Structure 1
Amino acid sequence: MTNATLGTVRVPTAIDAVADAYFARLIELAPDFATSLGIAGHETEYGDYSPAGNRAHAAAIREALRGLDGLVPEDAVDATTLDAMRERLGLDLEIIESGVTELNNIASNAQGIRAVFDLMPTDTAEQWSHISGRLANVPGALAGYVESLRESASLGKVAARRQVEIVIGQARDYAKDGGYFDALASGARAGGDGLPSGLAAELAANARLAAGAYLDFAAYLENELLPAAPLKDAVGREYYELMSRRFLGAEVDLEETYRWGVEELDRLIAEQEAVAAQVRPGATIEEAKEILNADPARQLRGTDALKAWMQGKSDQAIRELKDVHFDIPAPMERLECMIAPTQEGGIYYTGPSDDFARPGRMWWSVPAGEDRFTTWAETTTVYHEGVPGHHLQVATATYRRDTLNNWRRNACWVSGHGEGWALYAERLMLELGYLADPGDHMGMLDMQRMRAARVVFDIGVHLELDMPERWGRGPWTAEKGYDFLSRHLDISEGQLKFEFTRYLGWPGQAPSYKVGQRLWEQIRDARRELDGASFDLKAFHSEALNLGSVGLDTLRRALLPAG
């Protein structure tokens, strides 16, 4: 069984045909997903978020899995596709059958129905007409979502009270006078000019419809779902194990991983202490950070300055890493740094459109009132979200249409693979000399420390394990966890509250960064041992990234066939 030769067009196989057919069905079921990929033809539509939509998705999964039965891989690409589809689709089916409808502060339909507008082009009157059409469909999308939340509630499966309350606030914030929908409609322009009066009026009316739907959604959450929401944030072992597999694409021993997280946290703190001494001999970590924060050369004021700095760092990384340490084809050289239109906190990446007409983008959602930023703390984040992090990884998969089928390129995303790679990339940039400055090194360690702390927090709180004695006593609770995170996450109060709520409402996702990095490093080290003197790190990275995003157990099997 051989791999496809890079640069050649691989002839699609029967397994590719099943994968492509399933991808096409996904686009039909989730037209807003098509928008996220830049695929035309579905600009005003939403998927069906109701129980009927969930059943249709489950039926599509079963059809695809039946289609794979009896098929024999023709090459290594096929073998990985078969492995990945059986793992991912089988898991998706388990999640649907769990009866849980997700509601949280970051990655549920409550946010996604609004967030798709951020990815819609706004250059022409026709594109604004598409936005208007989708605004008119927001009420239907939210109504379907409410149906699913009601069905889950009837099974006794309701998000924790904390999550319901935060989403109520988000929904009302989107819908308030001068909020997101008002700003979207009032700021509409086409090619630098105003819209035709009829379209402008329609856009304003549909923006009010969308805002009204979010107000109705908030009322449903407050009056019907909130009274049924449990106070307890912990989701328990059964659901947590399912979510851990979802985000890692691998089965791990949760207790062993928890103990490793504690050890990794201690190791990173010791490394920070050593770097603090480089900032000033004898300085503590906290003192070193105060010195770095007071350095005018490391300060930015305002989001315009932040955006320009991000873009400059990103462009430099692409220019200097291309063809030296990584393969970066020409279409991937463009990466846009953006200030997000929301103020929820968080930094994230969105991939390029399938044709690269819309580039990959790095977004910074700046909490309200925050306008001072320190470069030493954020340099590593630019590499995490951009190159060699998410942009290199996601755009490579999109680019590899010569080898990968549509499902592999565009629909298979595993957090532990993606976020694990991005953390791996941060540490790699230290090794390549891009974080040699003690401040930038400290910032990278801060981010790694955050990710280690949330392995401990996330597993500890949701499984209600005992706290390590040096951090507390007795079983974990959310309240103890907040104090713990405040010691290890050196971020603003607004960002800390956002992150804390995120971990509680999105179980298993936060640990996938550091655990994913651990698994990436284990696979690389095993491959180095297998290849011996012939091991080539750049070639390893290219081979791994050209696989696209897959579960980490699938990645291990693809890169270590004998393992």
Structure 2
Amino acid sequence: MTTERQPSDLDALADEWAETLLDLDPEWHVELGRPGREGDYGDLSPDGHAARREATAAMLARVDAAEPADAVDQVTKLELQRVLGIAVEQHDAGFWRHDLNVIASPAQNVRDIFDLMPTASAADWAHVATRLGNVRAAVDGYVESLRAGIEAGDTPAIRQVVEVADQVERQAEPDGFFAALALRGGDAGLPASLVADLEGGAESARAAYSVLARFLRDDLAPHARERDAVGRDVYALASRGFVGAEIDLDETYEWGVEELARMVAEQEAIARQIVPGGTVADAVAHLDADPSRMLQGTDALQAWMQETSDEAIDHLAGVHFDVPEPMRRLECMIAPTQLGGIYYTPPSEDFARAGRMWWSVPEGVTEFGTWRERTTVYHEGVPGHHLQCGYAVWNRGELNAWRRSMNWNSGHGEGWALYAERLMADLGFLDDPADRLGMLDGQRMRAARVVLDIGVHLEKPMPAALAGVPGRGRRDEQSTWTGDAAFGFMAQHVNMNAPFVRFEVNRYLGWAGQAPSYKVGQRLWEQLRDDARAAAGDAWDPRDFHRQALAVGSVSLGTLRDVVLG
């Protein structure tokens, strides 16, 4: 743990903001492992959003007036100004009125927080029961905000409404998530009164999600916009939030097209090593037919994830990275949902709850290719998100609570995780051509979604190379990106099953600006490393670079450059 520094006035403001967030959005108590309000939700109604806006603007004014005491304070001030300023802008632009997508909106968040709630004791289960009973109020507030969007003519796309309605209905089924959670409590040897509370809470939560599903289909869908595109202005504001800096969207789009071509060429070269003279499709078919590279069932997947993660930590710690002892524990989990997606949740502030890698396996998917997924473990675990988030928590002597645990920048965080994937290839962990093909498949996907995401939401012309993609038309036709065309395009550039492709594309269409932040962030991380190595010359030590860069926590990409290069 780093040496303690004397907390400053700006640290006090950041800590006060952290406490404000804990008050406005009590779910943070669970995420951080802090006692108190374990069963409460934040107010998702228009009044709740107005309260957040008022608190945010008031804190921003105080931060603007504060004077930094040292270099740590300078970063804190820049980050608070960025985060608070963008939050006010996005509120005023009405983002809260159309907050609906297939992966990261209140429709998922109200349920997802249960995944982090401890269930080791009767007291833990009592908190679960309380939260189950509070689902209805959270959903009602959310519906009220979406109704405000209808009244303002500011609604999500119909594609998102239909997809999320399907998700919500699955949670509300008699054997859905809430019912299954209550059954787990019933099997835990709890007092009869607590089991009754769990069952009653689960029924209330199921009913709330049924209400939400009916609202989405009957009330919101008729007013939802037909086009997937959000437009340049909304996209630019969303992108600034995810990247932490303003990027040239048109230049980034063109770079994405070029980067995709480079990834395709590299992957095709590796494919020919696996199947001489063969295509990527030939190599994929060859690997998928190899029983030694396939896992059967989620139990085998979970065990392999854990083994791969533990092995990476053992080999990297003390050699390529400094990995403090509490960070050497990463738990690999199968998520209790079947929505698709792989994600990471950080450790609690005291490391009592370890960092966790979650795999939400879509229904019906029972086979998993290790050649595809080894790089995913490095992305979510070590040296990816686990190392990154763990360093920030570990550095509590220098970073205030907000910076180490509550500030997250997607361009910084996801860019680091992609950087980590490439780094593992450079370090020899993906020398097997099959594993390297899987890494390149992921890198190709991230480049493709830069093109797709910006292309669809800005309704840009499609590159001529996309002739033949469903929805594009003939080669000699000038076509504009559409959501429908995105599915065929993505299917050409990833070697994943149809449910995965469907979920991923729907995610991009509903969460504008988020997906490109990964590759944009990787681009900057690699530039920073190369610049730092050139400046250090023979004195270059990658452990020093990584420790310095990660110790500042999650910051905007512009701030990261200032911090690393000084």
Relative to the length of structure 2, the TM-score reads: 0.96
**Cα distance in 1 for residues equivalent to 2:252 and 2:2:** 40
* SS in structure 1 of the partner of residue 230 of structure 2: coil
**Cα distance in 2 for residues equivalent to 1:16 and 1:209:** 41
2:390 pairs with 1:386 = no
2:175 pairs with 1:178 = yes
Alignment deviations for residues 193-224 of structure 1 (CA, whole Å, 9 cap, x no partner): 42111111111011000100110111111111
* SS in structure 2 of the partner of residue 396 of structure 1: helix
Does the CA contact (< 8 Å) of 1:268 and 1:445 recur in 2?
yes
The answer for the alignment partner of 1:91 in structure 2 is 86
The answer for the alignment partner of 2:142 in structure 1 is 145
Alignment deviations for residues 420-454 of structure 1 (CA, whole Å, 9 cap, x no partner): 00000000000111000000000000000000000
The answer for the alignment partner of 1:44 in structure 2 is 39
* SS in structure 2 of the partner of residue 188 of structure 1: helix
* SS in structure 1 of the partner of residue 269 of structure 2: helix
Equivalent positions of 1:203-352 (< 5 A) are 203-352=198-347
1:112 CA displacement: 0.2
**Cα distance in 1 for residues equivalent to 2:196 and 2:498:** 40
Equivalent positions of 1:23-102 (< 5 A) are 23-101=18-96, 102=99
1:526 CA displacement: 2.3
**Cα distance in 2 for residues equivalent to 1:258 and 1:412:** 27
Q: Which amino acid aligns with 1:528?
A: R
Q: Which amino acid aligns with 1:502?
A: R
The answer for the alignment partner of 1:120 in structure 2 is 117
Does the CA contact (< 8 Å) of 1:272 and 1:285 recur in 2?
yes
The answer for the alignment partner of 1:523 in structure 2 is 528
**545, 560, 563: which one aligns with 1:558:** 563
1:474 CA displacement: 1.2
2:505 pairs with 1:500 = yes
Listed as ranges, the gaps of 5+ residues in structure 1 are 1-5
* SS in structure 2 of the partner of residue 337 of structure 1: strand
**128, 133, 136: which one aligns with 1:131:** 128
2:541 pairs with 1:536 = yes
2:163 pairs with 1:166 = yes
Q: Which amino acid aligns with 2:535?
A: L
* SS in structure 1 of the partner of residue 331 of structure 2: strand
Equivalent positions of 1:392-407 (< 5 A) are 392-407=387-402
Does the CA contact (< 8 Å) of 2:384 and 2:417 recur in 1?
yes
**Cα distance in 2 for residues equivalent to 1:213 and 1:365:** 23
Q: Which amino acid aligns with 1:248?
A: V
**Cα distance in 2 for residues equivalent to 1:73 and 1:189:** 53
Q: Aligned pair count? A: 554
1:122 CA displacement: 0.7
1:52 CA displacement: 1.3
The answer for the alignment partner of 2:409 in structure 1 is 414
2:552 pairs with 1:547 = yes
Does the CA contact (< 8 Å) of 2:64 and 2:81 recur in 1?
no
Q: Which amino acid aligns with 1:356?
A: F
Does the CA contact (< 8 Å) of 2:9 and 2:66 recur in 1?
yes
1:288 CA displacement: 1.2
Return 363-372 or 146-155, whichever deviates more.
146-155
Does the CA contact (< 8 Å) of 2:165 and 2:213 recur in 1?
yes
**Cα distance in 2 for residues equivalent to 1:531 and 1:82:** 28
1:66 CA displacement: 2.0
Relative to the length of structure 1, the TM-score reads: 0.97
1:189 CA displacement: 5.5
* SS in structure 2 of the partner of residue 12 of structure 1: coil
